[in-house]
Amino acid sequence: MSTSQQNAPAQADHLFGIGAATQITGIPEATLRVWERRYHFPQALRSPGGHRQYTQQDILQSLWVRLQLDDGMRAGQAIHARLFTERDAAIATALHQPLAASTPPDPALTSVQQSLLERLVADDDARASAILREAAAQHPLQRVVLDVIGPTFTAIGDAWSAGRVAIATEHFATNFLRHQLLAWLRASPPPFQVPPVALVCAPDELHEGSLLMLGTLLRRSHWPVRYLGQMLPLPELGGLVDRVAPALIVFVAMSETSALALAGWPEWLGDRTETQVPIIGYGGRAFTMDPDLAARVPGTLLGSTLEEGWRRM
């Protein structure tokens, strides 16, 4: 068998370069190269130009290994254990659609977003609902969330800030979008049987649009989500960890005040061992507007955009 035949994927699949693999998994490029050399994992394909390329299954297994490292397992043990874990089998079976590469907004969805905004500003919830039903029937729901719902949230907020719409219209539109996301979240397919991701707004944070979007994206990818919504007081954090045992807690902060309020979260987890503390991630407009805030908040900044954060999880 020729080298080119050996390097060809067994079936049609999205291929990811090493930069994309690092962005999705959070594993540095140098680490992926060391693992391949030392453990023969992941065994990257090669492009005609000799560049590493990873399949969907490579990405999923690498994500699983990274979670084991976060729990304290050594790299060699985790890479060996992936061959026997039921969790990896569940991921490979349940995630039956390929991971989508990040793409620019579809022009058709840009038009849908503009139509939706017009109907919401006109207080026409019936037509707005029909627009979203038609979009969800014709496009992947993840793209509808990212390219229609997200920009509409932003446009409504900007219009209110500029005085182009009344606060009553802003409240109507925001709640319409919020209830649509909740409906999609509840109607999502069965989740993996793994510890959940807890989604919460930072203390004093009322804006939950991006958090609901993230919850919908995760649930559509079969991840279990515990959605807690607005303004979680940090003293409640320890009880949340004890009751839910989440693998990851994601905070959203839209203002500098709510972002800085997150800085004290470690003190509320008491004397738990490192393995008893979930991964703490965060994001939101506050960190996009002022990236230096991340240096003042413990945990992991998930990205500068919602899509970037979603793909890192």
CATH number, domain with residue 30 = 1.10.1660.10
Average pLDDT, the chain: 81
Residue 100 lies in a domain: no
Please give the pLDDT value at position 273: 64
Domain shared by 182 and 201, yes or no: no
Domain shared by 33 and 88, yes or no: yes
Please give the pLDDT value at position 114: 94
Out of 186, 213, 237, a domain closes at: 186
Please give the pLDDT value at position 23: 84
Q: How far apart are the first and last CA of the chain?
A: 37
| Alpha carbon distance 34, 89 (integer Å) | 25
With a cut of 50, list the residues of the chain below it in pLDDT. Answer: 1-12, 84-102
Residue 163 lies in a domain: yes
For residue 138, CA distances in Å to 89, 113, 205 come to 30, 14, 34
Domain shared by 281 and 225, yes or no: yes
H/E stretch holding 214: helix 209-220
Scored b (16 or more CB within 10 A) or e, 146-182 reads: bbbbbbbbebbbebbeeeebeeebbebbbebbbebbe
Out of 162, 186, 210, a domain closes at: 186
**Total domain count for the chain?**
3
CA 268 to chain centre: 25
Q: How many Cα atoms are found within 13 Å in the side-chain-facing hemisphere of 275? A: 5
H/E stretch holding 251: strand 248-252
Please give the pLDDT value at position 264: 85
| Alpha carbon distance 82, 43 (integer Å) | 14
Out of 186, 207, 239, a domain closes at: 186
Short-list 83, 52, 56, 78, CA closest to 65: 78
Residue 192 lies in a domain: no
Residue 99 lies in a domain: no
Domain shared by 175 and 241, yes or no: no
Domain shared by 112 and 64, yes or no: no
Domain shared by 87 and 155, yes or no: no
Does the reported pTM lie above 0.75? no
**The domain that contains 209 carries what CATH number?**
3.40.50.280
Please give the pLDDT value at position 101: 44
Three-state SS at 184: helix
Please give the pLDDT value at position 190: 84
Please give the pLDDT value at position 88: 41
Report the percent of the chain where pLDDT is more than 90.
Answer: 26
For residue 158, the enclosing domain spans 107-186
Peptide bond into 246 cis (omega under 30): no
Please give the pLDDT value at position 126: 94
Domain shared by 206 and 290, yes or no: yes
Domain shared by 208 and 278, yes or no: yes
| Alpha carbon distance 271, 275 (integer Å) | 11
CA gyration radius for the chain?
21
Short-list 114, 252, 131, 253, CA closest to 180: 131
Domain shared by 84 and 20, yes or no: yes
Domain shared by 172 and 253, yes or no: no
**The domain that contains 176 carries what CATH number?**
1.10.1240.10
Residue 28 lies in a domain: yes
Domain shared by 168 and 217, yes or no: no
Domain shared by 80 and 126, yes or no: no
Q: How many Cα atoms are found within 13 Å in the side-chain-facing hemisphere of 61? A: 21
| Alpha carbon distance 248, 277 (integer Å) | 9
Mode of pairing for the β-strands spanning 225-229 and 300-301: unpaired
